[in-house]
Amino acid sequence: MARRTTKKKGSGGGFVLTLILVLLAIAVAGGIYYAASRGGEKDVLDKGLTGGVATVDLREESKAAQRAVDDILLSKDNWQLKDNGREDQHERMKETGGEVAWNKRQLAIGVPPSTGLEGAASWLGEKIAGAKMVVVNQREATYNGWDSVRMEIAIVAKAGDGKMNFVTDTVYFYHNLNLTKEDKDIKEEKEKKKEDKKPVQKYHGKLAVIIDDCGYDLAPVRKLVNLNAPFSYAILPYKDFSSDALHVIKSGGQTAMLHLPMEPMDRSAMSEGKNTVLTDMTAEQVQNLTRKAVDSLPGIEGVNNHQGSKATSNEATMKAVLKVLKEKKLFFVDSSTYSKSIGDQTARSMGIPTARNNIFLDNSSDEDDIIAKIWQAVEMADRNGSAIAICHARPNTADAWSKVIGEVQASGIQLVPVGNLLK
């Protein structure tokens, strides 16, 4: 009897294990069916079978696109291709909380001097058309000090009912003097040759650039000031290099500002602790904190907010801050960290010179992304007559500006201190 009892228990355990395996198989099959039912096209806004957070992997698609670009370029036996490296990219989708992963690389294409750079880029753009790839950006640039044309190629992915682009190739076309075999179909136009052309001033309008978060690291501040561009610099108070940054900025003849820490919507995300203006402070407390921060940086001309999505949308808090700024004869720039901020309109109602940020340039730390945003700001200033842009005193941002400052200044856009755009 004992043996029979043991056998029955073992048989029951085997049944449970078998049931679990069957259920897992059904779940896996369901997942496969779900993916198959979507026609094989990945949706970057897909929430997955259970509605949870999903990661959409486009790395194979991006590498396939890169191989297709290589095949096109290798049809030119008189061009030289150089792969400068690639790396995986990741972007969080705010609509789903999920992540998209893809691969991005940089290519340098040496072409003969007789080949027009714009023509070479346009030729490649025409060849990739219709292959689920698009050119999302093409403009004049520099590559290792040489004149070049820079283009970005992206794969097109499904995004719900729409589409999204993910850049897989940044391509630089430049003249390689060692290549002598001429192209049959792409010639260099004489007016495009460097010795025959004058800089084309394509843009008009004024662009003011504010460099935030000065005080953490002095090296990027020095590098940016040494560009001799009329940037404005917002300094966080009480940092290790706050006073040094102020000295470098003022010595360089640039506009210095206070980057006043203010309460964000999520108080746990505050970066400056007790030095932050809070919405539950009394007016007197806000004014004392603001006055102390202003006095810690003698010679500043204005103020903008650090964080502050909650504080800049609170009228009482803003009035208390702005009362001190009016006493000190300082302007206020609303950093626009929150779409419903009332900082600039409150300042205007109190007779304080003010303005509002239009675009952030370095939410991404990738230099190419920052450069693309710089040109987006230039186009915005050209379109609207003026624009204000904010970036940060970080190494990659300083490097990005170092690479394009000459091109931006030659483009016809007028870089100005932010004080020139106050109303």
Q: What is the tens place of the pLDDT at every residue in 379-407?
A: 999 999 999 999 999 999 999 999 999 99
Query: Does residue 170 sit in helix, strand or coil?
Result: strand
* Residue 181 pLDDT > 90: no
Q: How far is 15 from 8, CA to CA, in rounded Å? A: 11
Smallest CA-to-CA distance from 355 within 409, 273, 416, 398 is with 416
User: Token digits for 270?
Assistant: 């505050």
pLDDT at position 34 is: 33
283 vs 129, residue with greater confidence:
283
Let me know: does 290 contact 260? Beta carbons within 8 Å: yes
**Structure tokens, 274:** 């007790």
Mean pLDDT of 364-373: 95
pLDDT per residue as tens digits for the range 67-83: 889 888 888 888 888 88
Tell me if residue 143 falls in helix, strand or coil: strand
Comparing C-alpha atoms, which of 309, 348, 302 is closest to residue 293?
A: 302
* Per-residue pLDDT at 25 exceeds 50: no
**Is residue 131 over pLDDT 70?**
no
pLDDT in tens, 235-246: 999 999 999 999
The Cα 166–Cα 42 span in angstroms is: 13
| Six token digits for residue 419 | 């004080």
For the cut 50, the answer to whether the pLDDT of residue 145 exceeds it is yes
Across the range 89-113, mean pLDDT stands at: 85
What gap in Å lies between CA 197 and CA 189, rounded to an integer? Answer: 11
Please state the rounded mean pLDDT for residues 412-420: 96
What distance lies between CA 57 and its chain's CA centroid?
A: 21
Which tokens go with 72? 């096109």
Higher-scoring residue by pLDDT: 183, 413: 413
Q: Cβ(111)–Cβ(179) under 8 Å?
A: yes
Cα–Cα distance, 151 to 399 (Å, whole number): 19
Distance CA 210, CA 81 (A): 38
Which amino acid does the sequence have at 369? D
Separation between Cα atoms, residue 336 and residue 307, nearest integer Å? 9
Give per-residue pLDDT as tens, 41-70. 788 777 664 455 568 888 998 899 898 898
- Beta partners for residue 397, in sequence order: none
Is 213 within 8 Å of 234 (Cβ atoms)?
yes
d(CA 235, CA 246) in angstroms, rounded, equals 7
Question: Nearest-CA neighbor of 109 among 72, 82, 90?
Answer: 82
Q: What are phi and psi of 357, to 5 degrees?
A: -65, 140
Closest CA to 106 of 78, 122, 85: 85
What integer is the mean pLDDT of 345-367?
97
Pairing state of beta strands 302-307 and 162-175? Answer: unpaired
35-40, Cβ contacts within 8 angstroms, sequence gap of 24 or more: none
Under the banding of pLDDT at 50, 70 and 90, the label for residue 11 is very low
- CB burial class (10 A; 0-12, 13-18, 19+) of residue 17? exposed
Mean pLDDT of the chain: 85
